Each structure stands twice: as C-alpha cells, then as structure tokens.
Amino acid sequence: MGMAPENANLSFEEALKELEAVVRRLESGEAPLDESIELYARGDALRAHCQTRLDAAQSRIEAIVADRDGKPQGLRPFDETAG
C-alpha cells in the first residue's frame, strides 16, 4: 500500500495533529458511513507516518548513545519512562 504522497512532507507534529482531528471526527459519530471509511483510511495512513517518524527518531537516538569519551556504550532502547 505504501505511504500516501501527501504524508511525505508532514512533520510528526503535523501528522499527529491531523490524526487527532480525524479521531475526534470519528468519535463524534456525526460522520456518514462513507466519510467514516475515508477518515479511517486517512487516520491509518497518518498513524503509519507517525510510527515511521518515531522509528527514525529512535534510530538516531540509539546511534548517538555514547559515554563521555565518545566510545559507544551499545544500543539502549528509547524508554520514555526513563529519567
């Protein structure tokens, strides 16, 4: 299926904001069935885009984990609860 071209230039924040709007519209229960199907498809594409951006960020974080001397300490998984 692949990422829709209109998602390619969206930042994580932009995609998340649009995804939140899609979810609010779906949760409102006011969208007709056809619109709901389109919204769900758009939301799924946005979710995948956000996941891709998060995965890329995690890879960058893991690549720069090093000790004071700049020697790699090995990869540490990103954990938002740490710190």
Question: pLDDT digits over 52-65, tens only?
Answer: 999 999 888 877 76
Reference 79, options 60, 58, 49; nearest CA is 58
Q: In this structure, what DSSP letter does residue 69 have?
A: T
Could you tell me the two tokens for 72? Answer: 């790699």
Domain presence at residue 80 = no
pLDDT of residue 62: 77
Q: What is the CA radius of gyration of the chain?
A: 18
pLDDT of residue 74 exceeding 70: no
Domain presence at residue 53 = yes
pLDDT of residue 2: 44
pLDDT of residue 83: 45
Residue 16's domain spans which residues?
A: 12-64
C-alpha torsion sign, points 42, 44, 46, 48:
negative
Domain presence at residue 1 = no
pLDDT of residue 30 exceeding 90: yes
User: What is the pTM for the complete model shown?
Assistant: 0.68
CB-CB contact of 36 with 23 (8 Å): no
pLDDT of residue 59: 86
